[in-house]
Structure 1
Amino acid sequence: MKLPSQTRYDHSAIPQRPTYEWPGGKRLALLICNNIEHHAFRAGLGSDSATIGAPQSQRNYAWRDYGNRVGLWYLLDLLDELGLPCAHNVNTAALDMCPEIAPALLKRGDEFVGHGRTNAERQDGLWEEDERRLIAESAEGIRRHSGARPKGWLGPWLAESNATPDLLVEEGFEYVMEWPADDQPFWMRTRSGPILSVPYSVELNDSPAQVYRQHSGREFANMITDHFDELLHQAAKYPLVCSIVLHPFVIGQPYRLRQLRRALEHVLKQRDKLWITRPGELTAYVRSLPKGVVPGSEELP
């Protein structure tokens, strides 16, 4: 039986791979990835606090808008208190509508990651030329607000067309976070050269966990601590990445933020064993490793 199959990367079982270390001899890298989004009013796509698939309304628009007005600022304060860097997947519409956001991220030295124009749309149903325009407009919007084009990409709703990785490389992107296939980075093929897949969790992610699966803030905090503890144990054998994925309109609710605080304080008890970094820095380090170490690197130019 022959099934449809992807051709972006080859199968690779983790025990069969070469081992390596992160900077400083660390075995576990920690990424905090936050999503800053803006949605259309009473139109387009958008999650709901109570009902999956609910129509767009003033209620769920305002619930999501809480993230940019309040939740983000609570979260940034917490990250400052704990001394944690962060990468932000940003809709350019959010930067346009909320002029305080980009300066705050720049002041922290955080990374801007391309995340489309708005999460009211997704790109997997677009013609290729329209998708290219979406990607280019997103990159230009971030350059306008931050002074530099983003190196990484996470599409709205993690949606991809068959051409997305090809278009990303052709528009100057170096890594993508839409393929949750691994706890290590790996190189993927495109028609214009390789792009790195950086681990981005759809499990340790507050939106599917707390909005769609209705886990409590306390349950999500336990997920973080259990996931982290097990990865730290497994990292004795393999260099791994622990990514924690956040959305301010979800995690920024005070009762959930309190539990995130508890979970991150637990994680940081092991700070000396971690490479706490951002995906762009991780990508640069992976690129510096010899060919043949990271899956797919044999095809690097």
Structure 2
Amino acid sequence: MTEPLYPDFHRLDLSSHGRYDYVPINDRNDFEWPDGKRLAVYIAVKIEHFPFGEGMGHALAHPQPEPDVMNYAWRDYGVRVGIWRLLEEFQTLDLPFAALLNTALIEYAPPLIRALSDTSCEMVGHGRSNGERQSQWSEETERRMIEAVTLDLENAFGKRPQGWMGPWVAESRTTPDLLAEAGYRYTLDWGMDEQPVWLKTRGGGKLLSIPYPRPSNDIALLHGHHVTPRAYTEILIDQFEEMLDQSRKAPLVFNLSLHPFLVGQPFRLRALRKFLSYLAERRNEIWLTTPGEIAQYSASLPAGIIAS
């Protein structure tokens, strides 16, 4: 009989991140969100800035040689028009939200910064611009960027951010460690669960992963899969209703992720408004909140309740 090519293949050790253990959703400690609610819901708005003529950026059409004016201008629409329409919707419907902000906008768009300061939104660190990603840097460069973004947000809004999402949701192998060491309480980079999960970091610092699913993200659906606005709304309603049903068995987190240069376009805004109104009408059935409040509440639970 021929010897197998890989006699120890069944014992092959695969690379692991080591950030969390495998704990199935149906084998965890039960708990409730405030007021006995079972589904926590938060809205995350990515307010992003892109350098002109260089760096990375989503493309509406096939990228052109730089300066790629058409694709740059399409993205810049988000902070010139789209975000203002979203802010109006949130105010009209009294919806809380988290602003994932590139700090380059502090200098680029002062009126927008003033408008955000006048809301009760939660500010979340989102790098300097979306023309770069921290996964390509040395640890020291990444550390300095995180420190600079943190300080800029604190100076602009009077409060240190508690949460982080990297530009392009990109991490280096040490990003969670650097975030914990910089005093961050949670990250939105990891989308592996529908409950918060404690991440392991060097030195034992605590960093919570709060669910931020990619499949229902507007970039994935509207831009990546070219879903129509009406179909997008139907998908969001299905996601919400199924998660509300599933939350009877285990408390869950629903996220609505929005990019103003996408959903701020009139033909998409009209469809999104239907879902925002639907969400507002269901507010008594859910905990309508922010990721920072989810992190704070999760940290207040007895040790071992939240998976790690």
- TM-score, normalised to structure 2, is 0.93
Report matched runs for 1:137-216 at 5 Å.
137-192=148-203, 193-216=205-228
Q: Structure 2 unaligned runs (5+)?
A: 1-11
Deviation per CA, 1:225-249: give whole Å up to 9, x if none.
Answer: 1100100111111101000000100
SS in 2 for 1:45: coil
Report matched runs for 1:210-289 at 5 Å.
210-289=222-301
Matched, 1:71 2:78: no
Identity of aligned residues (%): 44
Report matched runs for 1:53-132 at 5 Å.
56=66, 57-132=68-143
Shift of 1:208: 1.9
Deviation per CA, 1:10-66: give whole Å up to 9, x if none.
Answer: 001011001111001100011100000100111100001134x66551111111111
Where does residue 15 of structure 1 map in the other structure?
26
Shift of 1:252: 0.4
Which of 107, 131, 134 aligns to 2:145? It is 134
Distance 2:127 2:297 in 1: 26
Matched-pair contact (CA < 8 Å) for 1:48–1:54: no
Question: One-letter code of the match for 2:55?
Answer: G
Distance 1:260 1:170 in 2: 38
Where does residue 299 of structure 1 map in the other structure?
none
Matched, 1:2 2:13: yes
Distance 1:74 1:55 in 2: 31
Shift of 1:106: 2.1
Shift of 1:211: 1.5
Deviation per CA, 1:146-190: give whole Å up to 9, x if none.
Answer: 111110000000000001000001111110001101000010010
Question: One-letter code of the match for 1:120?
Answer: G
SS in 1 for 2:135: coil
Deviation per CA, 1:119-157: give whole Å up to 9, x if none.
Answer: 000010101000101111111111121111110000000
Shift of 1:268: 2.7
Distance 2:112 2:299 in 1: 30
Distance 1:244 1:27 in 2: 17
Q: Cα distance 1:19–1:122, how it changes in 2: closer, same or farther (>3 A)?
A: same
Distance 1:158 1:198 in 2: 13
Matched-pair contact (CA < 8 Å) for 1:183–1:241: yes
Deviation per CA, 1:237-273: give whole Å up to 9, x if none.
Answer: 1101000000100110011111111112223332111
Q: Which runs of 4+ in 1 moved over 3 A?
A: 53-56
Distance 2:180 2:236 in 1: 32
Distance 1:151 1:270 in 2: 28
SS in 1 for 2:288: strand
Question: One-letter code of the match for 1:223?
Answer: I
Matched-pair contact (CA < 8 Å) for 1:48–1:211: no
Matched-pair contact (CA < 8 Å) for 2:163–2:184: yes
Question: One-letter code of the match for 1:176?
Answer: T
How many residues are treated as equivalent by the alignment? 295
Q: Cα distance 1:41–1:225, how it changes in 2: closer, same or farther (>3 A)?
A: same
Distance 1:5 1:123 in 2: 20
Distance 2:85 2:30 in 1: 39
Question: One-letter code of the match for 1:100?
Answer: P
Distance 2:257 2:264 in 1: 13
Radius of gyration: which is bigger? 2
Matched-pair contact (CA < 8 Å) for 2:196–2:211: yes
Q: Cα distance 1:37–1:21, how it changes in 2: closer, same or farther (>3 A)?
A: same
Q: Cα distance 1:243–1:54, how it changes in 2: closer, same or farther (>3 A)?
A: farther
Question: One-letter code of the match for 2:104?
Answer: A
Matched, 1:26 2:30: no
Distance 1:55 1:208 in 2: 25
Distance 1:10 1:194 in 2: 15
Shift of 1:218: 1.4
